[in-house]
């Protein structure tokens, strides 16, 4: 199949035509330069007024399969990903059973191939059963057909510094990275701590989750990465204090050149604040919790200046019976894949903090580099894979959770007006979303 995308603004630049054949970009140029290709194209897409970006890569997706197919499956999650402009997602390991063996990783990878809507790359658990005690089959998962390169016990912190050190040393041998859920359980106990610690948590009677519980783990882990000469990735950074630690650590890592620290921020931590918890709506219960406005501002600035490397959704679907409880008893997490681009557009592009090339950097190029995905996050250039997304930068819409392609409905953006919307997504030239 051949495809001609006509009049697209590549990374927000002047309109041009992009011709795709065999899943690869073959020509880029003006209508006169692509005239012959236009005549032979099997499909022509009018992209006037649209921005063309490399397909997005999500470093942090919960697809729930195996074990909780009532909340999400690999297929439904991949459909939601495609609707959000994603051509690749990394599926977290906290499934049932846990993705802590090569066989489990390959199973998730194969489910993604069967769905064919986005490339699904399993994240391997750092420790067996996410128990934080014994390392999982890190090398075997890496050598499997799934070629796992990112490992995380997300949902739980690798709290034991000795285990974290060993994990960093182990993955160094094959260029892997440990993605850490930074939560010191002695300061923010798993399961109970659920609201940013402060005046609001005291007034609402909700167990506090202080920012320092994140920051002390981030500080410890960047020092362990420096000591081992390895790579650590900070998942869902949420506080201004974490930004300060990251800024220092990145400066040191750049000087040394032998180790690396990267970080991600979620769409919800870029826009939503802890005051939303005043109504006890469990939709807004997430881990780490929503933070005050000063943290949100620090995260936005850090994403703009590169201290935070990437946007990652932490897409966490839940069945209705797990969310419709009293706040303290409800499950942690919210949906993120389908509205991520719109949130970034609303918060970062509309404010001038990022241009469209910057969006490509934080949602595609850098996430692909962190995850070691050679076929994604590539330049829009002749000879590159046609993993692409078309965005309408002027579109405004009100989110309707009932239109989601996810199986779950715990959508924090419901009834919110956003600017910028994904129109079409292409995986190796095949349209996976749009009409």
Answer yes or no: is 379 within a domain.
no
How far apart are alpha carbons 88 and 62 in whole angstroms? 13
Q: What is the pLDDT of residue 240?
A: 98
User: Is 287 marked as a binding-site residue?
Assistant: yes
User: Is 60 marked as a binding-site residue?
Assistant: yes
User: Is 284 marked as a binding-site residue?
Assistant: no
User: Is 62 marked as a binding-site residue?
Assistant: yes
Catalytic residue check, 281: no
Residue 338 to residues 183, 216, 328, Cα–Cα distance (Å)? 27, 32, 27
Query: 288 and 197, same structural domain?
Result: yes
How far apart are alpha carbons 390 and 117 in whole angstroms? 16
> Which residues, including other chains, have CB under 8 Å from residue 92's CB and lie 6 or more apart?
60, 61, 62, 63, 99, 123, 152, 154, 155
How far apart are alpha carbons 43 and 39 in whole angstroms? 10
Query: 150 and 251, same structural domain?
Result: yes
The strand pair at 51-54 and 56-61 is best described as: unpaired
User: Is 377 marked as a binding-site residue?
Assistant: no
Query: 259 and 194, same structural domain?
Result: yes
Taking 90 as the threshold, does the pLDDT of residue 350 lie above it? yes
Query: 139 and 242, same structural domain?
Result: yes
User: Is 411 marked as a binding-site residue?
Assistant: no
User: Is 64 marked as a binding-site residue?
Assistant: yes
Query: 106 and 22, same structural domain?
Result: no
- Predicted confidence (pLDDT) per residue in 231-261, tens digit: 999 999 999 999 999 999 999 999 999 999 9
Answer yes or no: is 318 within a domain.
yes
Taking 70 as the threshold, does the pLDDT of residue 435 lie above it? no
Q: Percent of the chain beyond pLDDT 90?
A: 97
Q: Which of 317, 336, 371 is the last residue of a domain?
A: 371
CATH code assigned at 395? 2.30.40.10
Query: 421 and 348, same structural domain?
Result: no
Query: 121 and 44, same structural domain?
Result: no
- Among all chains, which residue has been given the structure tokens 């069945």? 319
Query: 159 and 39, same structural domain?
Result: no
CATH code assigned at 107? 3.20.20.140
Query: 62 and 47, same structural domain?
Result: no
- Predicted confidence (pLDDT) per residue in 37-92, tens digit: 777 899 999 999 999 999 999 999 999 999 999 999 999 999 999 999 999 999 99
Catalytically annotated residue among 119, 153, 314, 322:
314
Give the number of domains in the chain. 2
Q: What is the pLDDT of residue 161?
A: 98
Query: 153 and 8, same structural domain?
Result: no
Q: Which of 371, 406, 426 is the last residue of a domain?
A: 371
Q: What is the pLDDT of residue 389?
A: 98
Answer yes or no: is 187 within a domain.
yes
User: Is 94 marked as a binding-site residue?
Assistant: yes
Q: Can you give the chain as a three-state secondary structure string?
A: CEEEEEEEEECCCCEEEEEEECCEEEEEECCCCCHHHHHHCCEEEECCCCEEEECEEEEEECCCCCCCCCCCCHHHHHHHHHHCCEEEEEECCCCCCCCCCHHHHHHHHHHHHHHCCCEEEECECCEHHHCCCCECCHHHHHHCCCCCCEECCCCCCCCCHHHHHHHHHHHHCCCCEEEECCCCCCCCCCCCCCEECCHHHHHHCCCEECCHHHHHHHHHHHHHHHHHCCEEEECCCCCHHHHHHHHHHHHHHHHHCCCEEEEEECHHHHHCCHHHHHHCCHHHCCCCCCCCHHHHHHHHHHHHHCCCCEECCCECCCCHHHHCCCHHHCCCCECCCCCHHHHHHHHHHCCCCCCHHHHHHHHHHHHHHHHCCCCCCCCCCCCCECCEEEEEEEEEEECCHHHCCCCCCCCCCCCCEEEEEEEEEEECCEEEECC
Range of the domain at 423: 2-51+384-434
Answer yes or no: is 378 within a domain.
no
Question: How many residues are given for the chain?
Answer: 435
Query: 27 and 154, same structural domain?
Result: no
Answer yes or no: is 377 within a domain.
no
- Predicted confidence (pLDDT) per residue in 80-111, tens digit: 999 999 999 999 999 999 999 999 999 999 99
Query: 94 and 71, same structural domain?
Result: yes
- Predicted confidence (pLDDT) per residue in 365-416, tens digit: 999 999 999 999 999 999 999 999 999 999 999 999 999 999 999 999 999 9
User: Is 206 marked as a binding-site residue?
Assistant: no
Q: Is 432 exposed, middle or buried (0-12, 13-18, 19+ CB in 10 A)?
A: buried
Torsion of CA 50, 51, 56, 60, to 10 degrees: -80
């Amino acid at each position: 199949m051949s495809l001609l995308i006509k009049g697209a603004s590549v990374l927000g630049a002047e309109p041009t035509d992009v011709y795709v054949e065999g899943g690869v970009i073959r020509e880029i140029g003006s209508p006169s330069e692509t005239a012959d290709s236009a005549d032979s194209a099997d499909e022509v897409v009018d992209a006037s007024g649209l921005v063309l970006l490399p397909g997005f890569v999500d470093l942090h997706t919960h697809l729930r399969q195996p074990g909780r197919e009532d909340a999400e499956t690999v297929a439904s999650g991949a459909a939601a990903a495609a609707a959000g402009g994603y051509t690749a997602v990394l599926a977290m390991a906290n499934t049932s059973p846990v993705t802590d063996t090569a066989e489990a990783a390959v199973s998730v990878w194969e489910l993604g191939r069967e769905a064919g809507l986005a490339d699904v790359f399993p994240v391997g658990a750092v420790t067996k059963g996410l128990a934080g005690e014994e390392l999982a089959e890190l090398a075997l998962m890496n050598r499997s057909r799934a070629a796992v390169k990112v490992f995380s016990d997300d949902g739980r912190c690798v709290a034991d510094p000795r285990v974290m050190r060993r994990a960093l040393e182990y993955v160094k041998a094959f260029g892997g990275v440990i993605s850490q859920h930074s939560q010191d359980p002695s300061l923010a106990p798993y399961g109970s701590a659920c609201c940013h610690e402060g005046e609001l948590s005291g007034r609402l009677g909700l167990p506090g989750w202080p920012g320092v519980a994140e920051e002390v783990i981030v500080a410890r882990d960047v020092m362990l990465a420096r000591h081992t000469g390895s790579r650590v990735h900070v998942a869902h950074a949420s506080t201004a204090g974490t930004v300060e630690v990251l800024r220092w650590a990145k400066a040191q890592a750049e000087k040394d050149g032998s180790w690396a620290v990267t970080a991600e921020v979620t769409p919800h931590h870029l826009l939503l604040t802890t005051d939303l918890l005043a109504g006890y709506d469990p939709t807004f219960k997430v881990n780490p919790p929503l933070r005050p406005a000063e943290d949100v501002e620090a995260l936005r600035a850090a994403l703009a200046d590169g201290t935070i490397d990437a946007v990652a959704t932490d897409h966490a679907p839940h069945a209705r019976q797990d969310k419709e409880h009293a706040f303290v008893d409800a499950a942690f997490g919210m949906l993120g894949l389908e509205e991520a681009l719109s949130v970034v557009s609303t918060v970062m592009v509309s404010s001038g903090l990022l241009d469209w090339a910057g969006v490509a950097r934080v949602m595609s190029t850098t996430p692909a580099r962190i995850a070691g995905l050679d076929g994604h996050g590539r330049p829009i250039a002749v000879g590159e894979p046609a993993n692409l997304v078309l965005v309408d930068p002027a579109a405004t819409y009100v989110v309707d959770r009932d239109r989601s392609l996810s199986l779950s409905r715990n959508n924090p953006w419901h009834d919110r007006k956003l600017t910028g919307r994904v129109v079409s997504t292409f995986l190796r030239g095949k349209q996976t979303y749009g009409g």
